[in-house]
């Protein structure tokens, strides 16, 4: 096939890749074979990239990585900066969960190239978003949030509500991890409005689930329940996994409100029965909630059977979920009079909680206690003599992971004034973004 025929074939594959992924992959492999015969290096690269994207969408990561690596090798023969940037971006995204260090290097190269080609392009936004997701995967939620914030500025100019909604959802998730529940709720609420505008059913449901999580974190259980029932109503054909997440969160909120019978009814509707055999298809948190509800309703022996059924899932659980499970198991053993077993389980839960607290402290480099704040502000003042007292304090608080509203409250200033201070300092120090400013300040503090 000639070059122009291969170009047409590549474009036609783009039209069918969502409807028939298997056919798209077959046709891309045929295009790749023809391009290799004709030594059309740019088409070879594009075919490998499209194949990598297709395999990544199907979560077939070994194949996705292989094609991305072949694209990276082939692009050396192509003098097209935009294509080189796309290859670096694709390689970075593929390696996010496999090799985070290499992933960051590829994404930063892609970002530099895309900025050279056009500073405010959507590709810049996509790369910033990918870098944010990478840092979130590494537990660096403050840095992730700043990348998402920069991405939001670009997506806002695109006029695409789905893109803008997705990055607001990412911002909310990062804020949630930093326990900034009110700001997280606001970010999720912005995403909700955008997904509602776009009539994106998945987004309409997932953002409401996230909003409820933020409300539960703030202790606003009644509002969380309202939002969760609203999520159910938004899509009559809501995905089974989403429906399960909604009902599981409703059960947790009702339990916290003391509405035990109602919470149990909701959880039984999810799991099908109170018989411990149903635990085989339940998540660790569903098992923990069922056990605690049964114990509170004086079915302690049945509660013990449920909590013991969760032990096989403990090894693969997230630390926070494992800690909550162990704490619940300890309480049930204590109710049964097994104080020795209860004590050992409580020790395990405490150890996990201490580890979680230590990890959360690492997220925020700045120690907000008054004694340390004075010393750290002195470090900032020494490094940047041109900054005033309020500017130093604002820099320190932002580097600590505080949000704009929190900084405004601490400094007793308006949100707009704080935003002006941050913008002024960024320009005064010759930096390109507030994210870069925070990184520079953190580096000074950590010296």
pLDDT digits (tens, 9 = 90+) for 193-204: 999 999 998 899
Nearest alpha carbon to residue 27 among 13, 39, 41, 43: 13
| pTM tops 0.85 | no
Q: What pLDDT is stored for residue 130 in this prediction? A: 95
What is the DSSP annotation of 47-89?
Answer: HHHHHHHHHHHTT-HHHHHHHHHHHHHHGGG---HHHHHHHHH
Quick check: 402 pLDDT over 70? yes
Class of domain 370-446 as given by CATH: alpha beta
138-168 confidence digits (pLDDT tens): 888 888 888 898 899 889 888 899 999 999 9
Model confidence at 382, in pLDDT bands (50, 70, 90)?
confident
Q: What angle do CA 324, 282, 210 make, to 5 degrees?
A: 65
CA separation, residue 130 to residues 23, 64, 111, 220 (Å): 28, 16, 10, 32
Q: Considering only CA atoms, give the Rg of the chain.
A: 26
Structure tokens at 404: 């704009």
- Tell me the mean pLDDT in the region 323-339: 93
Which runs of consecutive H residues, i.e. helices, occur in 199-257? 201-217, 221-234, 240-256
C-alpha–C-alpha distance, residues 406 and 423, integer Å: 17
Q: What pLDDT is stored for residue 208 in this prediction? A: 92
Domain boundaries, the chain: 159-241, 274-362, 370-446
C-alpha–C-alpha distance, residues 407 and 79, integer Å: 47
Model confidence at 365, in pLDDT bands (50, 70, 90)?
very low
C-alpha–C-alpha distance, residues 147 and 38, integer Å: 41
Helices 434-446 and 370-383: crossing angle, nearest 10°?
110
Q: What pLDDT is stored for residue 65 in this prediction? A: 92
Question: Where in 137-211 does DSSP place strands (E)?
Answer: none
159-241 topology per CATH = 1.25.40
Report the chain's terminal Cα–Cα distance, integer Å: 60
Quick check: 237 pLDDT over 80? no
């Amino acid at each position: 096939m000639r070059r122009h025929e291969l170009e047409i074939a590549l474009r036609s594959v783009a039209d069918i890749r969502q409807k028939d992924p298997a056919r798209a992959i077959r046709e891309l492999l045929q295009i790749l074979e023809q391009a290799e015969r004709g030594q059309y290096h740019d088409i070879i690269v594009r075919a490998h990239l499209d194949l990598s994207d297709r395999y990544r969408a199907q979560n077939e990561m070994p194949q996705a990585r292989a094609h991305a690596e072949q694209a990276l090798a082939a692009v050396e023969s192509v003098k097209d900066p935009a294509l080189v940037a796309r290859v670096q971006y694709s390689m970075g995204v593929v390696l996010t969960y496999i090799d985070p260090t290499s992933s960051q290097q590829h994404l930063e190269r892609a970002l530099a190239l895309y900025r050279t080609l056009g500073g405010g392009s959507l590709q810049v936004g996509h790369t910033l978003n990918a870098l944010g997701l990478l840092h979130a995967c590494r537990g660096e939620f403050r840095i992730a949030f700043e990348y998402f914030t920069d991405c939001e500025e670009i997506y806002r100019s695109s006029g695409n509500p789905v893109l803008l909604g997705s990055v607001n959802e990412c911002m909310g998730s990062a804020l949630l991890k930093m326990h900034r529940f009110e700001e997280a709720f606001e970010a999720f609420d912005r995403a909700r409005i955008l997904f509602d505008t776009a009539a994106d059913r998945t987004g309409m449901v997932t953002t409401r689930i996230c909003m409820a999580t933020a409300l539960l974190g703030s202790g606003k259980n009644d509002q969380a329940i309202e939002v969760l029932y609203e999520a159910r109503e938004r899509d009559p054909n809501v995905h089974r996994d989403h429906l399960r997440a909604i009902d599981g969160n409703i059960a947790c909120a009702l339990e916290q409100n003391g509405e035990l019978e109602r919470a149990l009814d909701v959880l039984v509707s999810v799991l099908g029965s109170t018989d411990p055999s149903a635990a085989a298809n339940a998540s660790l948190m569903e098992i923990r909630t069922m056990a605690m509800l049964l114990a509170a309703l004086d079915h302690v022996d049945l509660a013990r059977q449920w909590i013991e059924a969760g032990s096989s899932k403990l090894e693969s659980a997230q630390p926070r979920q494992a800690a909550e499970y162990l704490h619940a198991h300890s309480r049930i053993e204590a109710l049964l009079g097994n104080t020795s077993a209860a004590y050992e389980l409580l020790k395990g839960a405490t150890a996990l909680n201490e580890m979680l607290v230590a990890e959360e402290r690492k997220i925020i480099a700045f120690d907000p206690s008054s004694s340390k704040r004075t010393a750290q502000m002195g470090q900032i003042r020494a490094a940047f003599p041109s900054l005033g007292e309020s500017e130093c304090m604002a820099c320190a608080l932002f580097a600590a992971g505080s949000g704009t509203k929190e900084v405004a409250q601490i400094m007793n200033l308006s949100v707009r004034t704080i935003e002006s201070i941050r913008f002024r300092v960024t320009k005064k120090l010759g930096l390109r973004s507030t994210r870069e400013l925070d990184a520079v300040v953190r580096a000074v503090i950590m010296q």
